[in-house]
Homo-oligomer: A and B are copies of this chain.
């Protein structure tokens, strides 16, 4: 059984019901000690106010969502994205976030050049890695499920993400986010978790894959509602040295986003204890 003190809430789980302040207060009420906020949530609430509230609640920040999106049609757009990422790094530092999550970007509009897009990702990360190091912020590449390869991330597997990390050498402030929803199907998953090791494993996101799946856009389940063997993946992470939070992130347009936030958090706490 998972230790409930390890539960963190990715605030996208309540994004349709609550603003940042209400969501954090609710987490505190449920004894949750860590959250993962999104850029838009903090922009509406105010970054300084958010930092103060998190401190007052004794709330850690597991990950800041999100940077990345390095792929774009023109060099000018790509430079703009890099500037955006530099701002995200500063904000992540202010938040004391465990990592800045990178969703790397899909194919640029009208493009079929997957290899070119992958190079844009590598170049984009290379352009910000020193900023991250300077700010004391770790970058977490999140491979997305291959169904998002065109529109979300050309980085689709943990192996690919770790290959990018390795190019920066040991000690660079870069690693991976393991989201069970994106990675559960991968025959190489366990081998790559072991390869990543403690230093590269910057976060662990949990939700479930429903059957039948609607796939896209947002159709995730709470742990235990679907087919992912979350405890097994958690065990592999722990064997590799991971000691961080289990960040619950349930993006569910037609089910959990429509429910009362108290009901959602109650389910999150119960299901984390039972199914993670």
Q: Chain A interface (Cβ within 8 Å of chain B)?
A: 107, 111-114, 118, 145-147, 149-151, 154, 156-157, 159-160, 184-188, 209, 211-216, 226-229
Interface centre among A184, A214, A226, A227 (most CB of B within 10 A): A227
Tell me if B227 and A112 are in contact (CB < 8 A).
yes
Tell me if B146 and A147 are in contact (CB < 8 A).
yes
Interface centre among A112, A147, A216 (most CB of B within 10 A): A112
**Nearest-CB distance from A96 to chain B (Å)?**
33
Bound form: Cα–Cα A83–B243 in Å? 48
Q: Within 8 Å CB of A159, what residues of B? A: 187-188
Tell me if B150 and A147 are in contact (CB < 8 A).
no
Q: Which of B113, B154, B214 contacts A216 (CB 8 A)?
A: B214
Closest to A110 in B: B227
Q: Which of B147, B149, B151, B211 contacts A151 (CB 8 A)?
A: B211
Judged by DSSP, the binding face of A is loop
Closest to A149 in B: B185
Q: Which of B146, B209, B214 contacts A185 (CB 8 A)?
A: B146
Closest to A209 in B: B150
Bound form: Cα–Cα A213–B107 in Å? 13
Q: Within 8 Å CB of A145, what residues of B? A: 146-147
Q: Within 8 Å CB of A186, what residues of B? A: 146, 156-157
Q: Within 8 Å CB of A215, what residues of B? A: 147, 214-216
Q: Which of B112, B154, B157, B229 contacts A228 (CB 8 A)?
A: B112
Tell me if B146 and A227 are in contact (CB < 8 A).
no
**Nearest-CB distance from A113 to chain B (Å)?**
7
Q: What would 10 A/B residue contacts be, using CB atoms closer than 8 Å? A: A145-B146, A146-B146, A146-B147, A146-B185, A147-B147, A150-B185, A150-B213, A151-B212, A151-B213, A157-B186
**Nearest-CB distance from A118 to chain B (Å)?**
7
Closest to A113 in B: B229
Tell me if B111 and A227 are in contact (CB < 8 A).
yes
Bound form: Cα–Cα A185–B145 in Å? 10
**Contact A150 B211, CB 8 Å, known A156-B185, A156-B187, A186-B156:** yes
Q: Within 8 Å CB of A211, what residues of B? A: 107, 150-151
Bound form: Cα–Cα A186–B186 in Å? 11
Q: Please list the 9 inter-chain residue pairs (A to B) with the smallest Cβ-Cβ separation, ordered nearest first.
A: A215-B215, A149-B185, A112-B229, A146-B185, A160-B187, A147-B147, A215-B216, A146-B146, A150-B211
Q: Within 8 Å CB of A107, what residues of B? A: 211, 227
Tell me if B185 and A227 are in contact (CB < 8 A).
no
**Nearest-CB distance from A183 to chain B (Å)?**
9
Q: Which of B150, B212, B227 contacts A227 (CB 8 A)?
A: B150
